[in-house]
Chains A and B, each alone.
Chain A
Amino acid sequence: MRFESVHKAPAVRTEQIILFRSSNQIFAISSASVQEVRSVDSLGGAAMEINEPAVPKVRHILRRGERNVYVVNSAAHFGLRPSPAALIFLLRKTRVALLIDGIEKMTTMTRLQALSEAFCHEERVWYRGLTVLDQNVIPVVNPLGFLTDGELLQLDAAAGALIEAEAANAQEMGLTP
């Protein structure tokens, strides 16, 4: 009979992440913050166009029950060159969906390094920190950093007007919304 060793090495805290591409750059996001991954094609009819000049990185809304989910173009968000997006991440606990070019792979990170204080602009909100994978430095995005409360308010106002106009249109045509 064998006894298990009493002294175990402390377990390394790990986190499952998804590496994704946006405009040829690689980013990581915690798998736990992604609720669904959908193809852009599969959302064709479900997405409404929105044009809020103050938030140009959002061009579409998805209606999920009574909620508006705003589709953020990741390339525009990070100030990268526009690129053909193929996938959408629907994020958990936020009203944001993220338009990305593609998924690179799923993996595990064991260490998240805080962003140096030398980075002192929007990137402090964009990223939770940096991780090193296979001798590459990958920024780990903050799922709550894509839209500010102010931007959400502006988008809600624009979406409200859009939905009202659509309902009025449908009534005029004798359709029920």
Chain B
Amino acid sequence: MSWTEQYDARSCVLLRLGDRRFALAADQVSELVAPSRMFRFAHRTPEIDGVILRRGRVVPVCDVAEKLTGKRLTSRRFYLISARRLGARADWVALPVSGDCELIQADLTPAGPSDSPHVAAWLSHDGEVIEVLNLGALTPGMEPQDGSNGNAVLAEARV
């Protein structure tokens, strides 16, 4: 791979789901909060566990671990509150994570056509190759914006 195939260095948040690590672009992350009371009400979106209240805003909790690792999280240490872009506005979702999160600076490699839609890019950190997630493809209610691997979503989120 040539250097021209790499994006610029970019801030990402590393998150842990079970024994695997994933990354999200830092500008898609609002805050990391301790699990708080979850409110549940009748609905038909299976990916949503319930909602939490954060700064007066109702935020749906979406456990993406099963999609990414094949297993639901047994322990939820934090909620990573993340923003999905819907045109000019942001729609927030809380992603349960099972360990500490880490803010890093990393060079991103764009996802290829054969990558899953939830992969926006790849990064390498501590000898580990890590998927940078495309929230739009991973959480309900949003179509992947470029229909393939979510690069367009990542590009839009770039500063």
B109 to chain A, nearest CB (A): 28
Q: Please give, as numbers and ranges, the residues of chain B lying within 8 Å of A149 by CB-CB distance.
A: none
Q: Tell whether, in the assembled complex, residue B56 and residue A118 are in contact, meaning their CB atoms are under 8 Å apart.
A: no
Q: Tell whether, in the assembled complex, residue B42 and residue A116 are in contact, meaning their CB atoms are under 8 Å apart.
A: no
Instruction: Report A60-84 residues with CB < 8 Å from chain B CB.
Output: 78-80
Instruction: Report B2-52 residues with CB < 8 Å from chain A CB.
Output: 39, 41-45, 47-48, 51
Q: Tell whether, in the assembled complex, residue A119 and residue B58 are in contact, meaning their CB atoms are under 8 Å apart.
A: no
Q: Tell whether, in the assembled complex, residue A116 and residue B60 are in contact, meaning their CB atoms are under 8 Å apart.
A: yes
What sequence of 0s and 1s flags, for each residue 108-152 of chain A, a beta carbon within 8 Å of any chain B beta carbon? 000001001111111100100010100111110000000000000
Instruction: Report B128-152 residues with CB < 8 Å from chain A CB.
Output: 139-142
Q: Tell whether, in the assembled complex, residue B42 and residue A132 are in contact, meaning their CB atoms are under 8 Å apart.
A: no
A94 interface contact, C-beta 8 A: no
Per the CB 8 Å criterion, the residue count for chain A at the interface is 22
Q: Tell whether, in the assembled complex, residue B91 and residue A116 are in contact, meaning their CB atoms are under 8 Å apart.
A: yes
Q: Tell whether, in the assembled complex, residue A116 and residue B44 are in contact, meaning their CB atoms are under 8 Å apart.
A: no
Q: Please give, as numbers and ranges, the residues of chain B lying within 8 Å of A130 by CB-CB distance.
A: 51, 58
Q: Please give, as numbers and ranges, the residues of chain B lying within 8 Å of A25 by CB-CB distance.
A: 41-42
Interface centre among B41, B92, B140 (most CB of A within 10 A): B41
Cross-chain contact of A120 among B39, B42, B92, B140 (Cβ < 8 A): B140
Instruction: Report B69-85 residues with CB < 8 Å from chain A CB.
Output: 84
Q: Tell whether, in the assembled complex, residue B53 and residue A118 are in contact, meaning their CB atoms are under 8 Å apart.
A: no
Q: Tell whether, in the assembled complex, residue A120 and residue B53 are in contact, meaning their CB atoms are under 8 Å apart.
A: no
Given A135-B53, A137-B51, A137-B53, A119:B60 Cβ within 8 A: yes
> What is the CA–CA distance of A136 and B141 in the complex, to the nearest angstrom?
24
Cross-chain contact of A123 among B39, B45, B53 (Cβ < 8 A): B45
> What is the CA–CA distance of A135 and B38 in the complex, to the nearest angstrom?
11
In the complex formed, the residue of A with least CB distance to B89 is A117
Further pairs besides A79-B44, A116-B60, A118-B45: 12, Cβ < 8 Å:
A25-B42, A80-B42, A116-B58, A116-B93, A117-B91, A118-B62, A119-B45, A121-B44, A121-B45, A123-B43, A126-B42, A132-B56
B contact residues vs A (CB 8 Å cutoff)? 39, 41-45, 47-48, 51, 53, 56-60, 62, 84, 86, 91-93, 139-142
